[in-house]
Chains A and B, each alone.
Chain A
């Protein structure tokens, strides 16, 4: 049996070898076809997060899509990190683009009690740590997207109870 196995292994003319070649060939063909179809399609859509706490805004001139996460319900008087992703034409914005998150209560003419700094994260991401809604009521949140000399704003309201 051992010899047989050994022989089989050394013989290219054996039926097992042909089957193995066919399997490999069909796998490769399938892989090529898959790559072909994938290549013909648009780039994969960026992962759009969904679920509680996620908000989807379009900037005022329609250039950017902003996905923003704040806890749901947003906590009163507790610090948290607001974060999200900005897309332009379906793709995450480049690393060179600046993003600035801010918030305030226009009816009370004040902003965040402690200003926050927004940092960029890979793949169009941004995060602003230390956000705290120190008062219940309507808060206006803004996300400014700054590309070179141009700035465009997205904004939305949240109710803090």
Chain B
């Protein structure tokens, strides 16, 4: 009976891409609130690898239009899950697309991270460029404006929202956002999801200003709370879907801001789909078919969800449970040179964890943070590094959303037994970088700083990337300005920085280069290594340079004498010599290499003798362990039941 019900509501359930459903779902059955509240049944998962899905929208005729990055292409997906074979390249200016919306004539409006707005046809050909906001800006999201008059675009550099007319001219702008990652209009109201506030900010553009303090939600995992809300999608001009990225779920909100429904939960097994989500960033909804399409760039895939059989209880694991947003291993970490400590930046939980690293499984001594702007809290902790030569040990964290640097110390006595000690980590000082940039004449810029990678070098010089202004700012131990690195045409984004003697090594993933900066030298040295997308870098004591390549999940080594890079670890997976979206590399004084295997939620250590050690999330470890075998069995049973 249950199976019949599912088949009746959604005939495409059993479809495969080569044989899409032949019977379209009827509108009468599916276009009501009750139906929206049953969405969550996993229908199909489509891999886009090696491309990353970047934006998605529903088509008026049904199905979805998808934009991918690396390579930048336009693709179409039916609501039955059939991914069209043909894909069309996007115009050169749209290498990093961030949003797509359909025009009535079948064309699309698209935006690019670099701030381009354009109209393309169904073959991806550029029809016209639209002006968009003036000056440099970074597009975050795109949506129709209320009543369909023009467009809404968010600017991540300035924390702004712009209303564009149909020809792309700015009509009105609103500020006060930290990181506006999503936007949509529901009725007469505009909704903005803000990753910095972890809130949905709703306002009536005719009479109100956006007020984040009155926003909906806050950081957390309970229903109605959010962790890095991203893409939004309006439903029937009354409701909206929210990609609740770091909670690995999609939530359904009423126009009044009540959370009414959710689906998705973090994958228990690596690369697992079947309703499990991993960092979903955008959602689109085909109202006629009652199918939600969710994109997951971290897994290079799109998943479709349909209605559940209301008579079948939702699996207990998918009901809300307390989720600890910790131990995900962010993109940055640092090792205490010659010491025992490891600090890991954890943007999912807005924390930085302190661990003892010279154990088989590193032990967490304490963490610091929590969401917010108060001292010692974070809004997206990014780069982190230990200051050399300090007792007690000190480290510096780039707190991107709060536009500040924070320095912490730990007076840890290395005596057994190891135990977790709250408040072991102590805030030393912080500096408001936006204010410091204003006060320091040679640092002044029209765009506020956007902090990212960070490294501490000789003499306590702190180098922090300012992505908004394509430069690296240099400060002393007291957070006083001492200089900056700029290299027009060479440095686009300092994705990773590491100390290198009296200079700094920089991995530029956007520019595809490795650079070495030295104070007093006007231009950086370009390191030849045939780098495609370096996302982590450090110098080995033997003089070689090690870097992670985000383009193909690999770790490479450039010999001291230069020349072709040797591949050390490679292949997207959880195997012993594989990585998945690796990020930071840190090399200890003893030559051991510490690789942050971000996409596998684990750390990989290569010791001086070349032996490998893994630690972190158990299902992602090479041998998986007992728990993973049990999970696989459970998964197998679930699949059989379905």
Which chain A residues have a beta carbon within 8 Å of chain B's beta carbons?
60-61, 106-107, 109, 140, 142, 144, 148-153, 155
Which chain B residues have a beta carbon within 8 Å of chain A's beta carbons?
375-376, 409, 422-423, 426-433, 435-436, 439, 478-479
Could you count the A-B residue pairs with CB atoms below 8 Å apart for me: how many are there?
Answer: 46
B423 in contact with A60 (CB, 8 Å): no
Known: A144-B375, A153-B426, A153-B428. 5 other contacts (CB 8 A): A61-B429, A150-B431, A150-B478, A151-B432, A155-B427
- State A106–B370 Cα separation when bound (angstroms): 12
Query: What 6 A-B pairs come out closest when comparing CB atoms?
Result: A106-B423, A106-B422, A149-B435, A60-B428, A149-B432, A149-B436
- State A106–B369 Cα separation when bound (angstroms): 12
B375 in contact with A151 (CB, 8 Å): yes
Q: List 24 A-B contacts (CB under 8 A).
A: A60-B409, A60-B426, A60-B428, A61-B428, A106-B423, A107-B423, A109-B422, A140-B423, A144-B375, A148-B435, A148-B439, A149-B432, A149-B433, A149-B436, A150-B431, A150-B479, A151-B429, A151-B432, A153-B376, A153-B426, A153-B427, A153-B428, A155-B426, A155-B427
- State A14–B392 Cα separation when bound (angstroms): 77
B429 in contact with A152 (CB, 8 Å): yes
Known: A149-B435, A149-B439, A153-B375. A60 touches B422 (CB 8 A): no
A1 CB, nearest partner CB in chain B, Å:
78
Chain B residues with Cβ below 8 Å from A144 are 375
- State A107–B421 Cα separation when bound (angstroms): 8
B426 in contact with A149 (CB, 8 Å): no
Chain B residues with Cβ below 8 Å from A152 are 428-429
Closest residue of A by beta carbon distance from B430: A151
A61 in contact with B430 (CB, 8 Å): no
Chain B residues with Cβ below 8 Å from A148 are 435, 439
A63 CB, nearest partner CB in chain B, Å:
8
Chain A residues with Cβ below 8 Å from B375 are 144, 151, 153
Closest residue of A by beta carbon distance from B477: A61
Chain A residues with Cβ below 8 Å from B376 are 153
B408 CB, nearest partner CB in chain A, Å:
9
Known: A144-B375, A150-B429. A61 touches B478 (CB 8 A): yes
- State A142–B375 Cα separation when bound (angstroms): 10
B429 in contact with A153 (CB, 8 Å): yes
Chain A residues with Cβ below 8 Å from B436 are 149
Chain B residues with Cβ below 8 Å from A109 are 422
B431 in contact with A149 (CB, 8 Å): yes
Chain A residues with Cβ below 8 Å from B426 are 60, 153, 155
A105 CB, nearest partner CB in chain B, Å:
9
Chain B residues with Cβ below 8 Å from A60 are 409, 426-429
Closest residue of B by beta carbon distance from A157: B423
Chain B residues with Cβ below 8 Å from A153 are 375-376, 426-429
Closest residue of B by beta carbon distance from A62: B428
Chain A residues with Cβ below 8 Å from B430 are 150-151
- State A155–B411 Cα separation when bound (angstroms): 14
B56 CB, nearest partner CB in chain A, Å:
39
